[in-house]
Amino acid sequence: MSVALKQQTQSHFSKAACRYQHHARVQGSASDVLLARLAQRPLGLCLDLGAGPGVNSAALAAQSDALIALDLSSSMLAQIRTPSVKICADMDALPLQANSLDTVFSNFAMQWSSDINIVMRELYRVLRPKGRAYLAIVAADSLVEVKSAFASIGREAINHFATLEEMGMAAQNAGFKINWQQQLPLFDIYESAKEALKSLSAIGANSAEQGHKALTKGEYAQILKYLEGDKPEVAVSYNVAFLELIK
């Protein structure tokens, strides 16, 4: 992800801060998988990477000695009510000391890294020996319906997502042992194409390296028609990679 796109993504998330939790239904399903993997494991000093408005803060804090919530958007962090240390920063350059954390938890955030290799190296750096990272990351072949709809008018609307294999390779190259990995398809159903696009915008998922130019009314209508087809409801699919890594 380019610097310009990262800044645009930050802007999307900041604008979406108050609406994010209402629309982040698939993110909730993904965090359920990660939290189940944590079980009752003590988390020590835990970093919630890409914490957003603190959807998982209470659950993580209950198992942590202390919780750090880090996000690129200060507006998102301002929504968090769970006691925590809040840091507005870029995940690709964590402002944390080496070997300082026991656990990293990250749900639906690391796909916004400029380079999966960079963020994996950063996680390895800040974790203590035997520390663990629990990650849910949007993977390749996600949002194919939306990609196809925009492609039908010659536009690109969704970012490039890494494959599970690329994520695993980046983790191992950083020095991690992969203790568990899984890939699951998750779906969200919307009453209309307009609601689907509105929801994607509300969770900041409508960024791309190309296609920032505003849509014309005609283009927007074409995209809605393509998404709806002959059915009023619209299904949007996510391919989500889950990993548990040990330093």
219 belongs to a structural domain: no
33 belongs to a structural domain: yes
197 belongs to a structural domain: no
Determine the structural domain holding residue 90 and report its residue range: 3-142+158-187+238-246
Q: In degrees rounded to 5, what are phi and psi of residue 203?
A: -105, 10
Comparing C-alpha atoms, which of 138, 119, 107, 118 is closest to residue 34?
107
Which residues 6+ apart lie within 8 Å of 70 measured at CB? 47, 48, 49, 50, 51, 86, 87, 88, 89, 91, 94
pLDDT digits (tens, 9 = 90+) for 179-203: 999 999 999 888 888 888 877 765 5
35 belongs to a structural domain: yes
183 belongs to a structural domain: yes
pLDDT-derived band at 213, boundaries 50, 70, 90:
low
Number of H helices, E strands in the chain: 10, 7
Q: What's the structural domain count of the chain?
A: 1
216 belongs to a structural domain: no
Note whether 45 and 102 are within 8 A (CB): yes
Comparing C-alpha atoms, which of 5, 25, 158, 174 is closest to residue 90?
5
User: Residue 35: which CATH number?
Assistant: 3.40.50.150
How far is it, in rounded angstroms, from Cα 75 to Cα 24? 16
Length of the chain: 247
* pLDDT for res 4: 46
* pLDDT for res 14: 46
